[in-house]
């Protein structure tokens, strides 16, 4: 598996610089959680990226490497659709790990994620981002997709009541084999999150269209021993101290008691929860 630490450092540097320049507005997002329309706030996108990007990119690298092992030598080209892609850490994970397997990636998100402009430029033409809600898909729209990705997004899609519709569009495919790279928002414990259960909606729709899988839908993984530091899982993982957020005014306001800005980024596998599923027609 390839974890591109140089790339992650560049991302952190760009987002950190931009976030530091907006210090005066930090308190506006101090109580914000990663959910709903909060992703629309540009300042929150910067904070979200600083906190989660390295850990999530690592998790998607694990999934991309697992996909490579299954498809290598069997596909000339893979069509990938990612739902709730954000700034698309999963695209970079696929790019870095699908070694030799060509792919076309389309990432869909109902937020514009304008902070994408702080990412290193993508030189290949296999990437596109669609500002699009999955509720607007129509039957047939996803017929050419081989790999579906839910990158920490299925809970948000379900919360908007659109999961059943998306499941039906996916399940109406004419493909004989499709893959799912699922990564769930973990509850921080060893037990599977309620988030993971949402995939049953997709599984049931696929079953009713004659798909089966020999992968275990009811289990998800975290790499290594539970609670392990990400550096112990992937030697190249590194979160430079200079990119951690510190605030000169810490402790001066009531808001500081539950501040979500001065918070450590994800550094352990406690928030990993992933599975790769391969479905074929019976």
Ligand X SMILES: C[S@@+](CC[C@H](N)C(=O)[O-])C[C@H]1O[C@@H](n2cnc3c(N)ncnc32)[C@H](O)[C@@H]1O
Residue numbers of the site for ligand X (CB under 6 A)? 34, 39, 52, 56, 83-86, 89, 108-111, 133-135, 151-153, 156-157, 160, 162
**Residue 156, CA distances (Å) to 109, 130, 170 in order:** 11, 17, 17
Q: Measured between alpha carbons, how far is 102 from 247 in angstroms, rounded to an integer? A: 44
**What are the beta bridge partners of residue 108?**
83, 130
Residue that has been written with the tokens 């579906």 in this structure: 148
Specify the residue, 36 or 210, whose C-beta has the smaller distance to ligand X.
36
Specify the residue, 109 or 146, whose C-beta has the smaller distance to ligand X.
109
Residues 6 or more apart from 134 whose CB is under 8 A from it? 83, 84, 108, 110, 157, 162, 165, 166
Specify the residue, 138 or 176, whose C-beta has the smaller distance to ligand X.
138
Specify the residue, 75 or 132, whose C-beta has the smaller distance to ligand X.
132
3 state DSSP class of 259: coil
Q: Would you say how long the chain is, in residues?
A: 282
Provide, rounded to whole angstroms, the least separation between the CB of residue 271 and ligand X. 11
**Residue 166, CA distances (Å) to 105, 154, 206, 279 in order:** 18, 10, 11, 17
Residues 6 or more apart from 17 whose CB is under 8 A from it? none
Specify the residue, 157 or 233, whose C-beta has the smaller distance to ligand X.
157
Q: Measured between alpha carbons, how far is 85 from 18 in angstroms, rounded to an integer? A: 21
Q: Measured at the alpha carbon of residue 78, what is the angle toward residues 134 and 113, in degrees to the nearest 5?
A: 40
Specify the residue, 160 or 210, whose C-beta has the smaller distance to ligand X.
160
Provide, rounded to whole angstroms, the least separation between the CB of residue 214 and ligand X. 27
DSSP code for 221: B
Provide, rounded to whole angstroms, the least separation between the CB of residue 148 and ligand X. 13
State the residue number with the nearest CB to ligand X: 84
Provide, rounded to whole angstroms, the least separation between the CB of residue 250 and ligand X. 26
Provide, rounded to whole angstroms, the least separation between the CB of residue 64 and ligand X. 13
Provide, rounded to whole angstroms, the least separation between the CB of residue 82 and ligand X. 7
Specify the residue, 200 or 247, whose C-beta has the smaller distance to ligand X.
200
Provide, rounded to whole angstroms, the least separation between the CB of residue 130 and ligand X. 9
CB count in 10 Å sphere of residue 88: 25
């Amino acid at each position: 598996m390839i974890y591109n630490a140089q790339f992650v450092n560049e991302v952190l540097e760009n987002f950190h610089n931009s976030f530091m320049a907006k210090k005066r507005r930090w308190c506006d997002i101090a109580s914000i959680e990663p959910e709903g329309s909060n992703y629309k706030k540009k300042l929150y996108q910067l904070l979200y990226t600083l906190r989660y990007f390295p850990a999530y990119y690592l998790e998607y690298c694990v999934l991309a490497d697992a996909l490579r092992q299954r498809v290598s030598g069997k596909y000339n080209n893979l069509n990938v659709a990612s739902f709730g892609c954000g700034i698309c850490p999963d695209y970079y994970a696929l790019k870095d790990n699908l070694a030799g397997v060509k792919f076309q990636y389309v990432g869909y998100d109902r937020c514009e994620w304008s902070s994408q402009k702080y990412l290193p430029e993508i030189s290949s033409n296999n990437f596109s981002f669609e500002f699009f809600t999955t509720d607007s898909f129509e039957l047939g729209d996803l017929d050419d997709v081989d790999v579906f990705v839910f990158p920490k997004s299925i809970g948000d899609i379900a919360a908007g009541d659109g999961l059943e519709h998306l499941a039906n569009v996916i399940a109406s495919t004419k493909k004989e084999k499709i893959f799912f790279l699922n990564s769930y928002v973990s509850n921080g414990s060893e037990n599977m999150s309620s988030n993971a259960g949402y995939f049953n909606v997709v599984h049931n729709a696929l079953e009713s269209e004659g798909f089966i899988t020999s992968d275990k839908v009811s289990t998800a993984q975290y790499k290594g021993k539970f609670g392990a530091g990400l550096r112990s899982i992937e030697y190249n993982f590194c979160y430079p101290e200079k990119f951690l957020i510190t605030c000169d005014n810490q402790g001066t306001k009531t808001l500081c008691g539950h501040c979500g800005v001065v918070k450590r980024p994800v550094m352990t596998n406690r928030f990993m929860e992933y599975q790769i599923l391969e479905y074929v027609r019976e």
